[in-house]
Structures are given as structure tokens and as C-alpha cells.
A = this chain, B = another copy of it.
Amino acid sequence: MKVIIVGGVAGGASCAARLRRLDEKAEIVLVERGPYVSYANCGLPYHVGDVIEKESSLLVATEQMFRAIFAIDCRTRCEAVALSPKDKTVQLKNHATGEVMTEKYDKLVLSPGAAPIRPPLPGIDLPGIFTVRTVPDAKAIREWLERGSSDLAEEQDSATFQPLVKAKRAVVVGGGYIGLEMAENLAHRGLEVTIVEMLDQVMAPLDPECARLVERHLEKHGIRLALNDAVAGFKQTETGSLEVFTKSGKVYPADLVILGIGVRPETALAKAAGLEIGQRGGIRVDEHMRTSDPNIFAVGDAVEVKDFVTGEWSLIPLAGPANRQGRIAADVIFGRDSKFRGTQGTSVLGLFGATVAMTGANEKLLKRLGQTDYEKVYIFPNSHAGYYPGAKTIALKVIFRKSDGRLLGAQALGQDGVDKRIDAIAMAIQMGGTVYDLEEAELCYAPQFGSAKDPVNFAGMAPSDVLRGDMPLVHWDSLDGGFLLDVRNPPEIAAEAVPGAINIPLPQLRARLGELPKDREIFLICRSAVRAYYATRILLGNGFKARNISGGMFSRSMLVAK
């Protein structure tokens, strides 16, 4: 058995190691176009930011290790340039010598990854414009930050040459994961950063109202945001710095530009070989990671995978699934029945001391798919018991199926304990869990870690109350015709009132029921929807029609335009 793996890093390298563990005698060839067989690409922004100081820290597994421990024929700076499924051969080009060899395989594993999108805009190739995919990319950015571009210096006339000042202003194009991580790390190094994003929100996997919280957090930390605007082109000034032009006509000066627009599956080789490509542009594989050719497998960022929650094909360029897919392909090659369960898009981002995390489907996607059998709640629990110092509010949106309570997705932002809650919910989603399961979850509780009712329990209790009919719900964007009743205390109202709302503080409510209409729906308001829930119960128990406005003033602030 001879297996050739095209592309290292998460998917390819884990596949290669697993293949060897499963079979001591197979011939395993791992070819990688770049200089490193396996590196921590998720660490690249932090290397630029000097949080990870040494480049060597990023080299997770070396070529030498692969040879010595896994007896793998490991070839770096070696690229697969053509593929013949019929002959079961692949042409490999050695970039050191330029030589191209044709090599036979029994099984082939494609792990080419996804390339950062570099749109064909005027000036896109100017020095100082970078993408962030490889260790050499990070190195180039670090060098550019530290001493300006030597390429640029050489190109310029020595008489008029002005050495670049150390970079002071950066424009990050794209407000996704890489864009935001780069923005934080460049700010960490003292740069003024502007993010230009074509969409009306950062972090597309979040729903827009949740993205608002991220945007405010970014701005609070000095990042400038230019949403709803797209880059039209780049120019170089006489001093060698850059100008970024946008479609709206704005010009942003920059000493450095990072392209974080997104990635595109590298499918050229697969396409040329006639392998099936999916409608999202990734290599199509079955649950065994097998392509349309039975002897060719594909894993990682280049493949389309089934969304575990919606069943839709999607592109999820994440390291965790890539690792699992690599292992599964290896299993299947050696006759095992391993299957990829699909992905649920669990992801996390650290950002200036805050954490943003999510799992499962977002509401945008459900809407796009035309689904209506879902409801959402917004809750704002403390990260740990409020009586223990240091508790922080977590903003948590939970999406669930109305018909049976099945969990569909969750999005969270906060300064503490966010990843932990999303992990617990991710596990519940994976197991087909419902909001009732979260309600009953038995999680770690001591006052510095959580609460007797953990945020995860609240994430189940509030939806369960809705589904059992105990807490009719309404959202800020659909309050037509309701009677607004704010049950906060007067000092809270004085700080921020809702136009048109009547105020009766919760403790006075039973005594003042006579002031309320019996013929209209009463929509309840408080800070985080807890007191308003109590008020809802009081009103329903006294014959009124009442609904709680999910998330109260907290969720209202998410909807207010910036």
C-alpha cells in the first residue's frame, strides 16, 4: 500500500501520522509545497503581535520528526502539479531543483487547504499588502513592521529614497477571524488600525445584533471600523506608504495592509483531475472523506462538509475538523468504517480581553433556509456567582427549535467563562440535546467558577419557560400594538428610558394592576429580562395578556444602530 498525501498542516499531517499508526509497512509520502510540514497557522497573528515571540514555537512537528517517529517520506517545497486518477499517478514538482516526477499511488489524500482571497484590485501587488497564511507570511509582516520594506528601498531611486518610518497605521481588509485577530495584534504592537469590511457587520458567523457587541468592543479598544464599504484599490505615496481607496470614496492612509477577506478552497488540482466540486466551491467528499474518485480522499479547508445542524453543505476552515477528517481518511484507507459526523461550526475568538464564541446554526442561516420552526432568547447571566468578586456579564443568544426544544445554536460574548459555556452547549448540540437538557445540566459550581444555576442552565431554563408557555416572549423588533411596561426602578429609568413605556417597579406591581389594560398585550421590560419574567408571571396569573421582551435593556442595546 502506497499513500501519497498532498499538503501538510492539520489535515494532511494528522492523516499521515494516523496512517502510520494503523500500518507499520505502508509506504507513506507527505508532500508539502511550503517549507514546513506542519505549523500552527492559528498562531500566526499572535506571532505578528509578538505574543508568540519565537517563530520556532509555531513549528508543531518537523520534517525530521515525521521521518524519525512515523517513518514517513516527507518532502517539503514539493508541490503536486497534476493528477491522473485513471493511472493513479500524481506529478510532483521539487521546488528546490525544478524537477517534476510522476509517482504512483494506491490511495491519494488531498489536503491542499484554502488560499486567502486576493482580489484583482488596482495596486493589490504593492509592497506592504499582506495575507496571513504561512509562517513566511508572518515573518514578512514582522519584518515590514520592524524595518520597512527592503524590496521597496531597492526599487526606489537612491537619491529620493526615504526610509519608511516604522509602521504606524494599518488597514485590515475584512472583519472575520483573521482580520480581527490581526487588528488586535497590530494594535498590541502600537499601530492605529482601521478595519474595512464590505458587510454591515464584523464576524459573519455571528448574527448582526451579536456582532454589534463585538464592534463596540473593538471601538472601545481604539480600532476604527468602516463597515458597509469595500476596498476599490491601493496606491503608493511618494514616501513609500500606502493609500487604501474604498468604493464609497474614502481614502485610508496605511503603512501596512492586511488582507483578511476570506479564503477559497484550493481546488485547482482536484478540478483539473475531474473530481467533483460542490456548489460552495469545495471538493465534494462523502462521510468517509472520499472524493468522487474511490482512491482519492480529501480533508481540511479544501472540502465541503455537511453542517451538522442544518444538513447544508458548507465550508468550515477550522483546524479541529481538519484534524478529525485526516484521522478518518486514514481509518477508511485501512478498511475501517470511520465517518465524519459533519461540523457544527464551533469557534472562538479572543479580542482585547473579551471572548466571542459560537456553535451551531445562526439565525441568519435559518432565515436564509426559510426555516420558521425556531425561537431565540437573549440572556445575560454572570460568568460566576455575583457574590464572588470579578463576575462579568455574558451575553448569550440561544436558538432552538420551537416544535421540540432541540438546540440549534448559540452565540456568546463576554470577558470570562464564554468558551466554557459554548463548549458545554456544543457538546449538547452534538448529542442531539434540547433546551430541557441544558436546564437539567449538572456543571461545576463553586462561586469563582459558576453559579448554582449556571449560565448554561439559564440557557435552557429561559427557552424551556417559553416552550412550556410559562413565558410568552416578544422581541424588540416586533413590539407593534403592545403596551410597554417597564418594571425597573426609577434610578434605572432615569439613566435610560424606553420611549412610550409606563413604569411600575416590580415590587409595586401587584398593588397597581388596576393601572394596566386587560384588552392589550403588555410587553415587559427590565434590565436583563429576569424581573420582567417575574412580572410576566404576575400579570398572566392575574388574567392579563403579557409577554417578556427577551433580554430586556441589554438586548435592546444590541439593536440600536451604532
Q: Within A420-453, which residues are at the interface with B (CB < 8 Å)?
A: 420, 422-424, 426-428, 430-433, 437, 440-450, 452-453
A20–chain B nearest beta-carbon distance, Å:
8
Task: Indicate whether A444 sits within 8 Å of B419 (C-beta atoms), given known contacts A387-B58, A388-B43.
Answer: yes
In the complex, A68 has a CB within 8 A of chain B: yes
Contact A443 B346 (CB under 8 A): yes
A385–B538 CA distance with the chains assembled, in angstroms: 50
Contact B324 A42 (CB under 8 A): no
Task: Indicate whether A424 sits within 8 Å of B422 (C-beta atoms), given known contacts A350-B449, A387-B57.
Answer: no
Residues of chain B with a CB closer than 8 A to A343's CB: 442
A131–chain B nearest beta-carbon distance, Å:
19
Contact A452 B322 (CB under 8 A): yes
Q: Which of B423, B427, B506, B541 contacts A24 (CB 8 A)?
A: B541
A57–B387 CA distance with the chains assembled, in angstroms: 5
Contact B427 A319 (CB under 8 A): no
A328–chain B nearest beta-carbon distance, Å:
9
In the complex, A510 has a CB within 8 A of chain B: yes
Residues of chain B with a CB closer than 8 A to A541's CB: 23-25
A498–chain B nearest beta-carbon distance, Å:
21
A356–chain B nearest beta-carbon distance, Å:
10
Contact B446 A348 (CB under 8 A): yes
A341–B40 CA distance with the chains assembled, in angstroms: 43
Residues of chain B with a CB closer than 8 A to A345's CB: 442
The residue of chain B having its C-beta at the shortest distance from the C-beta of A68 within the complex is B507
In the complex, A521 has a CB within 8 A of chain B: no
A interface residues, tally (CB under 8 Å) = 86
Contact A347 B444 (CB under 8 A): yes
Residues of chain B with a CB closer than 8 A to A42's CB: 385, 445-447, 452
Q: Within A310-346, which residues are at the interface with B (CB < 8 Å)?
A: 318-324, 341, 343-346
Residues of chain B with a CB closer than 8 A to A71's CB: 510
A432–B25 CA distance with the chains assembled, in angstroms: 38
In the complex, A199 has a CB within 8 A of chain B: no
Task: Indicate whether A388 sits within 8 Å of B446 (C-beta atoms), given known contacts A419-B420, A452-B322.
Answer: no
In the complex, A359 has a CB within 8 A of chain B: yes
A506–chain B nearest beta-carbon distance, Å:
6
Task: Indicate whether A452 sits within 8 Å of B387 (C-beta atoms), given known contacts A69-B506, A444-B419.
Answer: no
Task: Indicate the member of A355, A423, A450 with the most B CB atoms within 10 Å.
Answer: A423
Contact A534 B69 (CB under 8 A): yes
In the complex, A272 has a CB within 8 A of chain B: no
Residues of chain B with a CB closer than 8 A to A23's CB: 541
Contact A453 B420 (CB under 8 A): no
Q: Which of B320, B431, B453, B537 contacts A452 (CB 8 A)?
A: B320
Residues of chain B with a CB closer than 8 A to A542's CB: 24
Contact B350 A40 (CB under 8 A): no
In the complex, A389 has a CB within 8 A of chain B: yes
Contact A445 B387 (CB under 8 A): no
The residue of chain B having its C-beta at the shortest distance from the C-beta of A21 within the complex is B537
Residues of chain B with a CB closer than 8 A to A430's CB: 437, 440-442
A346–chain B nearest beta-carbon distance, Å:
5
Task: Indicate whether A21 sits within 8 Å of B347 (C-beta atoms), given known contacts A10-B452, A320-B443.
Answer: no
In the complex, A486 has a CB within 8 A of chain B: no
Contact A440 B24 (CB under 8 A): no
Task: Indicate whether A442 sits within 8 Å of B46 (C-beta atoms), given known contacts A387-B60, A427-B424.
Answer: no
Contact A52 B388 (CB under 8 A): yes
Q: Within A472-509, which residues are at the interface with B (CB < 8 Å)?
A: 506-507
A345–B445 CA distance with the chains assembled, in angstroms: 11
In the complex, A357 has a CB within 8 A of chain B: yes
The residue of chain B having its C-beta at the shortest distance from the C-beta of A428 within the complex is B427
Contact A427 B452 (CB under 8 A): no
Residues of chain B with a CB closer than 8 A to A385's CB: 40, 42-43
In the complex, A470 has a CB within 8 A of chain B: yes
Residues of chain B with a CB closer than 8 A to A275's CB: none
In the complex, A232 has a CB within 8 A of chain B: no
Contact B348 A449 (CB under 8 A): yes
A241–chain B nearest beta-carbon distance, Å:
31
Contact A445 B319 (CB under 8 A): yes
Q: Within A81-123, which residues are at the interface with B (CB < 8 Å)?
A: none
Task: Indicate whether A320 sits within 8 Å of B43 (C-beta atoms), given known contacts A433-B431, A538-B24.
Answer: no
Task: Indicate whether A453 sits within 8 Å of B419 (C-beta atoms), given known contacts A21-B537, A42-B446.
Answer: no
Contact A348 B534 (CB under 8 A): no
22 example contacts (A-B, Cβ-Cβ < 8 A) are as follows A22-B537, A24-B538, A24-B540, A24-B541, A40-B387, A42-B445, A43-B447, A46-B388, A51-B389, A57-B387, A68-B507, A70-B534, A347-B444, A347-B446, A348-B444, A348-B445, A349-B446, A350-B446, A424-B427, A427-B428, A427-B456, A431-B437
Chain A residues with CB under 8 Å of chain B are 10, 20-25, 40, 42-43, 46, 51-52, 57-58, 60, 68-71, 181, 308, 318-324, 341, 343-350, 355, 357, 359, 385, 387-389, 419-420, 422-424, 426-428, 430-433, 437, 440-450, 452-454, 456-457, 470, 506-507, 510, 531, 533-534, 537-538, 540-542
